[in-house]
Structure 1
Amino acid sequence: MCEWLEVISRVNMSVLVRFAPSPTGFLHVGNIRIALVNWLFAKAIGGSFLLRIDDTDTKRSELRYVEQIKEDLSWLGLVWDDIKFQSKRMDRYDECKDFLIKSRRLYPCYETKEELEVRKKLLLKSKKPPIYDRAALRLAENEVKKLEQEGRRPHWRFFIDHSEKIVLKDEIKGDVIFDPSKISDPILIREDGSMTYIFASVIDDIDFNITHIIRGEDHLSGSAIHANLFKALGAAQMPNFAHIPLMRSKYGEISKRYGSIFGIKSLRESGISAKAIINLLAKLGTCDEVNYSYGVKDLISQFSFKKFSQSCVLYDEDELTKLNEKVMHNMPYKEALILMKDFDFDISEEIWEAAKSNISNIRDILLWKRICQEKLMPKILDIEYTMGVSEILPEEPWDSNTWQELLSKTKKLFNKKGKELFLPIRLALTGVDDGPELQKLLPLIGRKRCYERLRGNES
């Protein structure tokens, strides 16, 4: 068992964490980093990982996004132990709403958005915190009746308990203390009857016995509200929290708006491997170095909240590209076959082993398949020279020694050296000025193609 487990305050409980994406768009690297940390923590301590689909926004939630979320997580190896859908729990949320109303922790408010905005500006102008003043609680019965006759429908605010400070047990930040009097009563139910994220989330966390809530530090202030709501709903025990420092990019915020840059689906389609994504995101913001060679078991055994920094971390897509390149260079053929299925590739093991050290992502291997097996218009620098080389090609069968044999003959006959010796041959045979060693490529291209290309013909 890992030595860092002494920091977990509930070692005798069955650990359960959750990842709760909204199916209103595709997952991006920011989402996956949170999912990955939850998953690694759960697996490191022998716990379970719940996938909760937050699909209460019926106007924006789409089934295609649900399916893509599941596909992305599966592709990355983040397999869930159970899955829940918030849209199937509406009766339960209504039940909790009624309970909070009866216990006077949820109260109706009739201010319009415009009125609330004016109050907020006045408070800020007076250099006061923009906290709701609970004016709705001071309305007389006839005033409420008048507002309703005007057609106003209430939104419902949660009454924050100011009697004691809120203390969160945070695995990264330690104990975080909030003064509840400085927290504005949040809206849990909107005018149209729809609920905000906080309400349904806390109910689910209680009902599903979530032991640890792990998310970005931008949710820290919201967690103080969650803590108050847990008590109001009669939770037997508060979950532990872990607020991870945010991840940003050179463009600023990482969001669904930049799907082509940060989206998991887009990265997969571009040829980036799951292994590179997982290895980078698992180590960003920790004291560990990023390493291309870590497998899932390594990442689980190395996981510790103690390793996380308190500072915002930078996600650099160039770093991911370079890491993916290292993954490709060291990838066994069996693993490569799995990646190739995404693109319906049919690449032989011989081509893979010859060319993998010269590719950045899985799609690049297609170039070397074409060079070895398909027609190619050669690039000719010196036709007399390359035609001369074509006449001294060794007879087949060819092997890894054929290139040295040909090179030795060429040096003697043409009195060339350095680039003048090999570059015209490489360009004629491959069409590019760098790549795998010709001793590896010649047997794969074959004598007939080499002969035609050296003579300037399309092979």
Structure 2
Amino acid sequence: MTTTVRFAPSPTGKLHIGNIRTAILNYLLAMKAGGTFILRLDDTDRERSTEAFAEGIRADLHWLGLDWQREEHQSARLARYAEVAETLKAAGRLYPCYESGEELDRKRKRQLARGLPPIYDRAGLKLTAEERAKLEAEGRRPHWRFRLPNTDSASGLAPLPTIVSWNDLIRGDQTVDLGSLSDPVLIREDGTPLYTFAGVVDDIDFAITHIVRGEDHVTNSGVQLAIFEALGATPPALAHHSLLIGADGHALSKRLGTLSIETFRNEGLEPMAVLSHAALLGTSDAIEPHGHIDELAALFDLRKISTAPGRFDPVELKALNAKLLHKRTFADAADKLAALGITGGAAFWEAVRGNVTVLADAREWWQVTAGEIEPVIENSDMTAKAAALLPPEPWDEATWSAFTAEVAKATGLKGRALFHPLRLALTGRDSGPELKALLPLIGRTRAEARLLGRRG
């Protein structure tokens, strides 16, 4: 059976590092198995779902190279959900309820005050046809609950098993006690399905073989397994990964807006740095930059994912981005450098790549080597003598050593007293790439002007 997975975001906001990690894990699972990656937009929330957010999701996935073979929209499948709902109604597994949100809240408070768990009392299940007709005549519209496979004590029936169990591909053996849960609402008053129900119908219809999602869905999975069973379907294999925490050990939830994929893209981070970090975070593999997604797919194994929370630090992501660029060849960087207006060739890239965190940093060094800068003169007597000692061109990496040896001989200076004033004059900066590589790129005309304190 072909491995088929889905990434199912709601187009009600921007993708962030937490949910893109789920997308990447699903994509790598499908890629390694030669399977299918489906983008399913959970867009039944009519008030909050927008096409702008949907397009943003597509743009983020394309930027990361997570190309899907198929796109589905839950909003286009409402008739299918209604059809399946009728099947469950006919089987007595979906029943109408008429309580308002305020009434349900009062019930929960009363139960808690009596020391009882705030579980729905199945009052809707006990309504007669006449009572339902009266409520609807009052203008009430039902929401529909799924009767979980357990028996309440008031029914007088023999108790049913309430434990749902499965072998999770990340967390191992898992159990959910359905007896501790309220019958979930699957259909709203306006007739639209909730995720719990629509997701199961989609997974059946799309032949999903594996569901990889966050551990916050473990209890939800117990309920959905009961729905799969009620529909006579074999559920997919389940894998629940841990959630991310910040470098301070606290949940990321309140800060995810600043950790959107769009933000990373706008900051100039490389797609493969984001992919590498998200794919390897919380696994037994070292977090190292990889140049192609194939390399990540080769490493991928759900068994490597820890059940402990993954610790995400934006500083570490940027450091990983820098390491990726430091390894990047000119051939791989050439097109992006050209898009930045940098035409310095391989010699320029090899000189500066060790000093960039994001590719756009190379523009600073392009200005230093090919444009004009305001030199910083720390020792005018020394730099003036150095200007007079500049050798004729052509220059190569050996020129710097020969040149500084002559300056040292003429001035008696060495160490920082020799090299720091030269760097400040030639680059206008305290630190940066090795001057043996930069000097040939700066050229004699600019070098002489800068050493003499002139803009050049």
For Structure 1 versus Structure 2, the TM-score category normalised by the shorter chain is: over 0.9
Query: Alpha carbons of 1:193 and 1:253: their partners in 2 closer, same or farther (altered >3 Å)?
Result: farther
2:16 maps to which of 4, 7, 28: 28
2:427 maps to which of 427, 430, 439: 430
DSSP-derived class of the 1:401 partner? helix
Moved more, 444-453 or 60-69: 60-69
DSSP-derived class of the 1:192 partner? coil
Kindly state the Cα deviation for residue 82 of structure 1 after the two structures are TM-superposed: 1.8
RMSD: 2.0
Residue 198 of structure 2 corresponds to: 200
List per-residue Cα deviations over 1:4-35 (Å, max 9, x = no partner). xxxxxxxxx22111111111222111111111
1:191 has 2:179 as partner: no
1:284 maps to which of 281, 286, 289: 281
Distance 1:392 1:64 in 2: 62
Moved more, 73-82 or 238-247: 73-82
Distance 1:248 1:438 in 2: 42
- Say if 1:26 and 1:256, in contact at 8 Å, map to a contact too: no
- Say if 2:17 and 2:256, in contact at 8 Å, map to a contact too: no
Residue 8 of structure 1 corresponds to: none
Q: Which amino acid aligns with 2:319?
A: K
Q: Which amino acid aligns with 2:137?
A: Q
Kindly state the Cα deviation for residue 197 of structure 1 after the two structures are TM-superposed: 1.1
Q: 1:191-340 to 2 correspondence within 5 Å?
A: 191-235=189-233, 237-250=234-247, 252-255=250-253, 258-260=256-258, 262-293=259-290, 295-337=292-334, 339-340=336-337
Distance 2:336 2:128 in 1: 67
Kindly state the Cα deviation for residue 344 of structure 1 after the two structures are TM-superposed: 6.5
Residue 154 of structure 2 corresponds to: none
Distance 1:92 1:454 in 2: 76
- Say if 1:28 and 1:256, in contact at 8 Å, map to a contact too: no
TM-score with structure 2 setting the length: 0.92
Query: Alpha carbons of 1:344 and 1:153: their partners in 2 closer, same or farther (altered >3 Å)?
Result: farther
- Say if 1:324 and 1:360, in contact at 8 Å, map to a contact too: yes
Kindly state the Cα deviation for residue 256 of structure 1 after the two structures are TM-superposed: 8.5
Distance 1:354 1:256 in 2: 41
Query: Alpha carbons of 1:272 and 1:146: their partners in 2 closer, same or farther (altered >3 Å)?
Result: same
List per-residue Cα deviations over 1:53-81 (Å, max 9, x = no partner). 11222322222322222222222222222
Moved more, 381-390 or 333-342: 333-342
Distance 1:156 1:346 in 2: 64
Kindly state the Cα deviation for residue 40 of structure 1 after the two structures are TM-superposed: 1.4
1:401 maps to which of 398, 402, 405: 398
List per-residue Cα deviations over 1:417-438 (Å, max 9, x = no partner). 1111011110111111111111
Kindly state the Cα deviation for residue 396 of structure 1 after the two structures are TM-superposed: 1.4
- Say if 2:144 and 2:185, in contact at 8 Å, map to a contact too: yes
Residue 408 of structure 2 corresponds to: 411
Query: Alpha carbons of 1:404 and 1:344: their partners in 2 closer, same or farther (altered >3 Å)?
Result: closer
Distance 2:6 2:254 in 1: 20
- Say if 1:28 and 1:255, in contact at 8 Å, map to a contact too: no
- Say if 1:216 and 1:245, in contact at 8 Å, map to a contact too: yes
Residue 420 of structure 1 corresponds to: 417
Q: 1:347-358 to 2 correspondence within 5 Å?
A: 348-358=345-355
Distance 2:253 2:309 in 1: 16
- Say if 1:19 and 1:35, in contact at 8 Å, map to a contact too: yes
Query: Alpha carbons of 1:99 and 1:318: their partners in 2 closer, same or farther (altered >3 Å)?
Result: same
- Say if 2:28 and 2:297, in contact at 8 Å, map to a contact too: yes
Kindly state the Cα deviation for residue 207 of structure 1 after the two structures are TM-superposed: 0.2
Distance 1:141 1:98 in 2: 17
Residue 153 of structure 2 corresponds to: none
Residue segments in structure 2 that go unaligned for 5+ positions in a row: 151-159
